[in-house]
Amino acid sequence: MHAKTGIAHLELRPVMGIVDPNNTRSLPKMVATCTGWDVLCHAIESLTALPFDQRAAPDHPGLRPAYQGSNPISDIWAAQAIPMVSRNILRVLEDPSDDQARGQMLLAASFAGMGFGNAGVHLPHGMSYPVSGMVRNFVPEGYPPDHPLIPHGMAVTLNAPAVFRFTAPANPPRHLYAAQLMGVDTSGARPEDAGEVLAGAIVDLMRRTGMPNGLSAVGYGPDDVDHLVAGTLPQHRVTKLSPRPADAADLKQLFLGAMRYW
Ligand SMILES: [Zn+2]
């Protein structure tokens, strides 16, 4: 199907993590950009995922999946990570020797990981798998030049504004909270503005960090959308966590909405 997918199992979890700015100082700029954006999307998606108590309960607790939906514990980690990335991603891109900012990015990656490792992520990730898997000839700056690649964090982020415009009506206060955590003054925002406010904050940071302008900038056009939808539909592990159910027709509109942002 030319679609990536994720695998997860308790035995695949690491026993130790080393959170040290030295490990990432020599990352090429676009690698740092894409990994930083992946962290931000992990946090915003787990904060806005379908709440755990709105999912069908399994027969007994041992049958619960790893991804539980948003919950009060994962919310704490996600809410910490969003401002940490928003405040520090430009600093690390502009000055790789800024260990204070780099340390905050690494801590944010760990915090967001604890959040989404329990809550799960949703449509930006679910839609990213065919975006990465169907790549034709896009070769990002700073990555190995011998084969085309749409990096994971880039594939996720390019879907994010379109997705949050769609999911915001399911829980406007959550989406406004995410925008507020990114540094937006949401005091005058109405519930019906929530999707646009959060999408706007993401698009603004995409532009400032040098992210491509939507899926059209990495080689996709409207003719690819049916295939992108077909590659997203099987990603139940994450798509079922969308706070607003998305069928094939919805996904088609989401991919079309992700083609170009400015
Ligand atoms: Zn990710």
pLDDT tens for the 262 residues of the chain, in order: 666 777 778 788 889 989 999 999 899 999 999 999 999 999 999 999 999 999 988 899 888 888 899 999 999 999 999 999 999 999 999 999 999 999 999 999 999 999 999 999 999 999 999 999 999 999 999 999 999 999 999 999 999 999 999 999 999 999 999 999 999 999 999 999 999 999 999 999 999 999 999 999 999 999 999 999 999 998 888 899 999 999 999 999 999 999 999 9
- What's the gap in Å between 261 CA and the centre of ligand 1? 21
- What's the gap in Å between 35 CA and the centre of ligand 1? 8
Q: What are phi and psi of 51, to 5 degrees?
A: -60, 145
Amino acid identity at 72: P
Give CA–CA dist 196/177, Å, rounded. Answer: 13
Pair 20, 100: CB distance under 8 Å: no
- What's the gap in Å between 143 CA and the centre of ligand 1? 17
As residues whose CB is below 5 A from the ion ligand 1, the structure lists 38
- What's the gap in Å between 249 CA and the centre of ligand 1? 24
Amino acid identity at 21: P
Res 148: pLDDT: 97
Give how far the C-alpha of residue 135 lies from the chain's centroid of Cα atoms, to the nearest Å: 19
Give CA–CA dist 109/116, Å, rounded. Answer: 10
Give CA–CA dist 154/37, Å, rounded. Answer: 7
Res 61: pLDDT: 85
Res 78: pLDDT: 98
Give CA–CA dist 29/19, Å, rounded. Answer: 19
Give how far the C-alpha of residue 75 lies from the chain's centroid of Cα atoms, to the nearest Å: 15
- Residue found under tokens 């704490």: 76
Q: Which residues contact 221 (CB under 8 A, 6 or more apart)?
A: 259
- What's the gap in Å between 247 CA and the centre of ligand 1? 22
Q: Buried b / exposed e across 155-171, counting CB within 10 Å, b at 16+?
A: bbbbbbbbbbbbbbebb
Q: Is 205 helix (H, G, I), strand (E, B) or coil?
A: helix
- What's the gap in Å between 172 CA and the centre of ligand 1? 23
- What's the gap in Å between 36 CA and the centre of ligand 1? 10
- Residue found under tokens 């603004």: 204
> 10 Å Cβ neighbour count for 39?
24
Q: Which residues contact 216 (CB under 8 A, 6 or more apart)?
A: 259, 260
Instruction: Give Cα separations from 6 to 111, 129, 233 (angstroms).
Output: 20, 8, 14
DSSP-derived letter for residue 13 is: S
- What's the gap in Å between 152 CA and the centre of ligand 1? 6
Amino acid identity at 116: F
Pair 86, 180: CB distance under 8 Å: no
Tell if the pTM clears 0.85, that is, is over it. Answer: yes
- What's the gap in Å between 43 CA and the centre of ligand 1? 10
- What's the gap in Å between 154 CA and the centre of ligand 1? 9
